[in-house]
Chains A and B, each alone.
Chain A
Amino acid sequence: MNLILFTFIVLLGFTSYYFGRRKAYTIQSTKKRLTALPQFYGYYLAIWCAIPAFIIFSLWAIFEPTIVKLLILSDYSNQGYLDDELNLLYEKSKALSRGQFTGEITPFIEASAEKYLSLRSIAQSSKVVIVLSAIIASVAYAYKRISSNSRTREPVEKFLNAVLFTASLAAILTTVGIVFSLIFQTIDFFKVIPLFDFVFGTHWYPAKAFVRDSSEALDPTMYSDTFGAVPIFAGTFFIAFIAMCVAIPIGLMSGIYLAEYASTKVRQYAKPLIEILAGIPTVVYGFFAALTVGPFLKELGTSMGLEVSAESALAAGGVMGIMIIPFISSLSDDVITSVPQSLRDGSYAMGATKSETIKRVIFPAALPGIVGSILLGVSRAIGETMIVVMASGLAANLTLNPLESTSTITAQIVVILIGDQAFGDPKTQAAFALGMSLFLVTLCLNIVALRVVKKYREKYE
């Protein structure tokens, strides 16, 4: 229904464009000068068609459900029902009217379902009538207003500019959405669990929180020693540290080689090949770590008489390091290439070899940019999810032994939120609190890294 209406409105838009242009041509034929190209007259009318349609559609989308609900529940509101019961009744009649209701059908629900259907159809048809009449009225008004000396280009361009501006707000809206979705759950979480326990507690055992009768009131003492995030934070940074131990030497050295030593031919092939590593989906790395690297390390450890967990932090961290190599290598490659040639020439002129030039002149000059690229790599390692979920353990151990299994923030979020969630449960809220801390940590890393890289770029441009 809505689709047909929508197509119809689009058609109306095209028609009004056509009429607007035709009017411009008629004006032109009377030897009067137009103030804009004839298309603008068409666009002008089309916009007059689109705006009322958009406004009415959004008004309906916002208010229709609430008004229908109010009208239905007004029948029962003075019969002593509680709010929750009324809501349930409303949901039941809605389900019944869609034919998806499986419970016992009381005449009560049946009546309100019928009423729901009739109200919906009234709302639908009134929407059609109002939208169409509003469009016709506004287009007719605009059509009459067009004359030889009316301005059409300026309003059309202003409108387009407004559309462009709105689109650019999407990035801000997304950030607001992220903060919004995290903050309420996080606040609720810290109402039950003191912030101090979360940040300094050393026992993470959210499964305990699940064993709870939902009808009972929340008992904060029950959760003491359940949501201490220290092992999670420690595990996250530990695995990220292992990853960077793999990624920094290999990534940095290949970046230096590509920038300073490699012939154009080697560069042409090696660079995109290394960057393939960045394009492989992380779930594939996770599978690789869990199926190949984990068991391999375990066997290797057993043959050397070491006890290695099949889900060791080393396997997850090592594979994650491989994933991060290309980020560091291409960023440091870029940074090193942008060091001005005069610095190199100066060093060569003093008799330094290439490696001495790189170590003593180029590297110090490029250091801020390299640090920035490493920070971006760290932020990626901390936020990486699938490798850890698949290859590292899910129980939070507080350990610094890379052969044991540990867990990370991201892995815990997935473990808690996979399957059905009950909002309002401290366990679910804990996941959002973890998400909030992840967001804040990576945000700080990113801001610092981007600022460092930007400062560095400005220095040499």
Chain B
Amino acid sequence: MNKNKEQLLNKRYKAEQRFRLYGLSAIFMALLFLTIFIFKIFSTGYSAFQKTWLIVPVTFDAELMMLDQNPSKEDLQDADYYDIALKSMADLDPNANEDQENELKRMVSYFFEKEIKNELLNDPNLIGKTKEVYLTASDDLDQVFKGNYPRDLPEDQRRVSDYQLKIFDQLVANGKVESKFNISFFTNADSREAELAGIASSFMGSIFSILVCLMIAFPVAVLAAIYLEEFAPKNRFTDFIEVNINNLAAVPSIVFGLLGLGVLLAIFQLPRSTPLVGGITLSLMTLPTIIIAARASLKAVPPSIREAALAMGASRMQTTMHHTVPLSMPGTLSGTIIGLAQALGETAPLILIGMVAFVNTIPGSPMDPAASLPVQIYIWAESAERGFVEKVSACIMVLLGFLIIMNLFAQIIRHKFEKKWS
């Protein structure tokens, strides 16, 4: 009997330990997913911040550029750079036939003509001289140089030919291939060519949408929260408003996209694909989040503050506007920032209102067509070229960086400025 009891107790203790282990492993699993996730993004993305350049000697031959003696600035602008650009690429291999010359040309981005032009515009004295110019390598060679490209594939399955690889290896051996920080990733707009594509347009699109969202959602949400928390009588109607807010917070984001499409675009005829419409759609989405946060922080202000103000003869409006609302601001602001961070990562509603259009200009106002960072991730993730994979990861890193900064900012506001009532 005694032995039985001991066995039973042992069994129970073992069950206890097992249960504890389940819980621990569940947390471990969740954190493992997070680590794999971040590791994967960083390991594929970090290389996109480097860009491969080919250093090619260019002879600025005045005759080939159709330039007269002592050309003016305008002449230099209008000169023909295509021939010298072609020639300098062809000169990499003096024995190249016509097909091979074409392949040589495709070793650099189609932008190479302009890069040579900029070199001359910076230093007009180069005419007639030869200078080594940095040219952006094509995205395939870029990937080869970063070691992301399987070189052992059969030639017909690769976009880089054996001949290009041979010349490229020669250049590498001569130290004529260099990897530098990829500034154009941050300054260029989107492009069909992976080596030239950048996030500037989608970044500006995101900034504009978030600003529009902030300007609409913040005032409306704060005013609504003040009304509901401080003034609203307790009746059916305010209950209805409350149910509405709680439901809106859980409505799938794509439904807001349908709202933007069906009301803002179809009825109000606002311009398609613009951050303006995107921002309005996002603001409707963040509205409930901010209202809930603002109400919570208004509720946290102790009644003694209100009573003191009322006792001094302030009206209810004065009490609220001069005391309760300023005291609740830190909580409201950090809730707003968290809501905006959510809006910044939102993709589906923006796709529905047409912000997936290919935009190769940097938008200057909320009325210009634009993409946004998450939509840019989607666009690049859908394209087949190998060069875009690392771009997607890099864009994700930029986006996550912003989200982290915003959340930290919200935390700092909350901890620094929020009064602890006890």
Contact = CB atoms under 8 A, between A and B. Distances in A.
Interface of A: 153, 157, 160-161, 163-165, 167-172, 174-175, 177-178, 180-182, 184-185, 249-254, 256-258, 260-262, 270, 273-274, 276-277, 279-284, 286-288, 290-292, 322, 325-326, 329, 353-356, 358-359, 376, 379-380, 382-386, 389-390, 410, 413-414, 417-418, 421, 423, 431-432, 435, 438-439, 442-443, 446-447, 450
Interface of B: 12-13, 15-16, 18-20, 22-27, 29-31, 33-34, 37, 40-41, 44, 219-221, 223-224, 226-228, 231-232, 240-241, 243-248, 250-259, 261-263, 266, 284, 287-288, 291, 315-317, 321, 341-342, 344-348, 351-352, 356, 374-375, 377-378, 381-382, 389, 392-393, 396, 399-400, 403, 407
A281 B406 CA distance: 14
B19 to A, nearest CB: 4
Contact of B247 (A160, A185, A446): A446
Contact of A168 (B232, B261, B315, B346): B232
B23 A261 contact: yes
B241 to A, nearest CB: 6
Given A167-B223, A177-B259, 20 more contacts: A161-B227, A168-B227, A171-B244, A171-B287, A175-B244, A178-B251, A254-B26, A270-B27, A277-B33, A281-B347, A282-B345, A282-B348, A283-B375, A284-B400, A287-B396, A354-B16, A386-B374, A414-B348, A418-B351, A446-B251
10 contacts: A260-B23, A274-B27, A279-B345, A283-B378, A284-B400, A384-B252, A385-B252, A385-B348, A414-B351, A439-B255
Given A182-B262, A390-B378, A273 B31 contact: yes
Q: Which of B30, B228, B263, B347 has the most CB of A within 10 A?
A: B30
A417 B352 contact: yes
A337 to B, nearest CB: 15
A356 B30 CA distance: 25
Contacts of A174: 244, 248, 259, 284, 287
Contact of B377 (A258, A284, A384): A284
B29 A250 contact: yes
Contacts of A171: 224, 241, 244-245, 248, 287-288, 291
Given A172-B241, A174-B284, A383 B253 contact: yes
A383 B317 contact: no
B377 A283 contact: yes
Contacts of B258: 178, 181-182, 413, 417, 431-432, 435
B12 A413 contact: no
B224 A168 contact: yes
A219 B261 CA distance: 26
A163 B400 contact: no
Contacts of B287: 170-171, 174
B403 A279 contact: yes
Contacts of B392: 287, 291
A164 B252 contact: no
A281 B403 contact: yes
A326 B26 CA distance: 11
A270 B20 contact: no
Contacts of B41: 284, 288
B284 A253 contact: no
Contacts of B393: 287
A386 B378 contact: yes
B377 A157 contact: no
Nearest to B9: A353
A355 B40 contact: no
A254 B30 contact: yes
A115 to B, nearest CB: 22
Contacts of A180: 262-263
Nearest to A386: B347
A170 B216 CA distance: 11
A256 B243 CA distance: 29
Contacts of A290: 381
Given A161-B317, A273-B31, A288 B37 contact: yes
B34 A276 contact: yes
A258 B254 CA distance: 33
A52 B399 CA distance: 45
B246 A432 contact: no
Q: Which of B15, B287, B352 has the most CB of A within 10 A?
A: B352
A379 B250 contact: yes
Nearest to B342: A279
Contacts of B351: 414, 417-418
A453 B376 CA distance: 38
B45 to A, nearest CB: 11
Nearest to A282: B347
A442 B250 contact: yes
B226 A164 contact: yes
B341 to A, nearest CB: 7
Q: Which of A167, A168, A288 has the most CB of B within 10 A?
A: A168
A335 to B, nearest CB: 16
Contacts of A175: 244, 247-248
A260 B407 CA distance: 28
B315 A157 contact: yes
A295 B284 CA distance: 37
Nearest to A359: B19
A274 B30 CA distance: 7
Nearest to B247: A446
A446 B248 CA distance: 9
Contact of B19 (A277, A355, A383, A386): A355
